[in-house]
Structure formats: structure tokens, C-alpha cells
Amino acid sequence: QVQLVDSGGGLVQAGGSLRLSCTASGRTFTARRYAMGWFRQAPGKEREFVGVISYNGGSISYAYSVKGRFTISRDNAQNTVYLRMNSLKPEDTAVYYCAASSLVIATSADQFDYWGQGTQVTVSS
């Protein structure tokens, strides 16, 4: 099994920055080269893809809405993936979830096998 614990959310003013972290554990995770992604979900809205990074970091993809502002990275030695969010906007307010996919790369929620519990990001104007 795989367990994901995400953290780092909070309240920030528009234009501010925040870094989310997600740490994975479990024998299944350590034995496979999981792609790691971030999704977000605002109240009343569908879960939305934010970004993804392949195991070796060679492939990275972002949603258009966050491109140029957010940066995804990972440290495989620590089984951790990060999402650095700069120039935050009120529209970025959502619960953010990290997720692991057994595929080399994936951008759809149904392609991810494991999910963190979510961390709230609130951006005030």
C-alpha cells in the first residue's frame, strides 16, 4: 500500500507565496517509479489538474492556469514532492491534493492510484 500525507496549506494574501509538501510511504511506493501530481478542488467545482512530475523529473506538466507561477519538484531520497506557488490569486483558493500514479506520466485524476488527505489553500484579496 501507499500512504500520502500532504501539508503546507494556509491563508495568504494575493500575490503571496506558499509551498506545499507531500511525503509518501509504504513498500509499494518505494518499489515503483510513481509519477507524482497535484490536483485542487474548490467548493462546487470539479477536481482540477494542477501539475505532475515523472519519477526522474524528466517530464513535467502544468495546467494552463498555473503555468509560470507554480513549480513542481521532487526529492526521491525523501519520498517527497513539492508544489511551490508564487503570485497567488484568489482563484487559486481550493483544497490541494497530492497523488501518485503508477504510469510514467498522467494528468487525469482517474489515472492516479493514491491520494493525500488534502490541504486547504486560501488566498485573500
Residue 83: name the closest of 101, 63, 102 by CA: 63
Residue 23 identity: T
Tens-place pLDDT, residues 49-96: 999 999 999 999 999 999 999 999 999 999 999 999 999 999 999 999
DSSP code string of 26-38: SHHHHHS--EEEE
Whole-angstrom distance, CA of residue 125 vs CA of residue 57: 34
Where does 1-125 show beta strands of DSSP type E?
3-7, 10-13, 18-25, 35-41, 48-53, 60-62, 70-75, 80-85, 94-101, 114-115, 119-124
What percent of the chain shows pLDDT beyond 70? 100
